[in-house]
Structure 1
């Protein structure tokens, strides 16, 4: 690591010199100072950079490679964060451990995929989000990422078939997995305390997804959630353990952003859906979510903006107890309905009911 990181005091002066109109949010500036301070201390203690690869995706012409740059104690193996999802020995872990790492912002990361090699810089949260113009055959590919020779890791990249006509975008929290979001105390308990292996599957949802994958053999599957990248290993192993189809996860950064103290979950989902529509212009999407947060309105807006890109909107209706935990009040089912212009608008409390609804609508 030859580049020098500015000292916290110098960083403060640089931030203060900016005009008030273009300054990031104060919480974001504090986080930047914390990252510089802690990062400087860790480097003095001999800590190294390590990469946590995520599951990327793309078409036969363009792919998206995702990862995070973190500090690791001396002697940490280069592939420490690159564990196979079928390694169940890592399941019995408290969730808080996924939030204990220190990110390394703005580091240069090298990526090699096939005959294509590029160098990119991580963002202020240590996230690498690189789009590569490269021609690849449909299927699974391995991108090699490193910051310096010797700490290479591989990131899976799924290239969806060019002839795919129907794709699946699925929410995670309270759609495929019961998490009791968004009540802060219970969300904290599920994210930081509960063992990874004790999370509950929504009844019937794995079977529904398997039926969809069987009905559409070339089905692209993307899991879109407002969860933090910190819980990527937890979610990946949960999906594998419970028999959900494999696919990339599109998550968000944890903590403040340049515009606010918290990231915008709806904005993240809206932006991701727009990117999918642009990358895969020939795909009509099955949009699956729940009625506990913003999925119905987000999906309805996407259908209004892209009426030819939606195969069906599928909404899991939360139970009464889940509604009470999520909103503090009980909303009747009629109040949770959302009219859309999509060919099918299916709602049911679990995967079994949604499967029947999709059969009735002619999707399955």
Structure 2
């Protein structure tokens, strides 16, 4: 846990091909100390990577475990710590692996809770001694509220009323975390555990938690893409994209978003931490980003990072050299990627595009602690 006692800065790896040591060396070369690693796009042995089948978990897929351990070896050799971040759990298959459909079963039926706890107990047992592992991020962007009757970005009182009605049921996110943590701690008493807030890790969604959980080796994570109407891919399909800074739709109304509004939104997670006496060293902005081709994206990154700077928060930008989607790959600058990028995806080949530091990447690059030598392409 001492790794997290000082602010740690890194990137997210959501690649379709298992990352190589050179990939991790490039991230470490910029000065990153950790990577938040998702494996759900990799080719699985069965239906779902590691899980075998998210419809009915029966044990880890052995070939997938070997693949994951090899990638962890690469990260360790490159000098990076890793937080494992599944996008799918039993009863909660990631929508992009589920024909674009949100999978709500985990939030309806507690038998999937039992399977999720069994999965994490098994995974912790095989990873607990790996020197690269610095955390288990139990669920990426959980959303028990989505089909549970709570509006996104509801006010604090509405959130607390909703949670009071859900406590003990299948949509009780803190209770699910407690069950999974207990399973992990049966086999691994040491490795830190990272918990995303609800409503897709929204910065305001810890508001209904009455207290932090009892385990002392926990980190609490939010993701920052608000105002999503401006920062996200759908905005770029508009004839005239919404601008940042600018007035955009948010929580059913029009609001002006700039650095001050970004700070006020993120302050909600800080206020919750203060209220429950949680130190800043236990807070993480596990993802943040914006579409690199949006003219205001560089300013947006500056505004988000100004908040993390002033509060000494851990963070990981989204994303580092993603080989299946170029939208938030800031080393690509603000131009379109060439056709061969998409051809490589179609052919299942390695990403052929060289990367370099660009103005779009500068807000992130200059906050990473530089090391000797420049990162390679």
Fold equivalence (TM over 0.5) = no
Report the TM-score when normalising by structure 2: 0.29
Q: Which is higher, the Rg of structure 1 or of structure 2?
A: 1
* TM-score, with structure 1 as normaliser: 0.30
Greater share of strand residues, 1 or 2? 1
Larger RCO, structures 1/2 (Cα 8 Å, 6+ apart)? 2
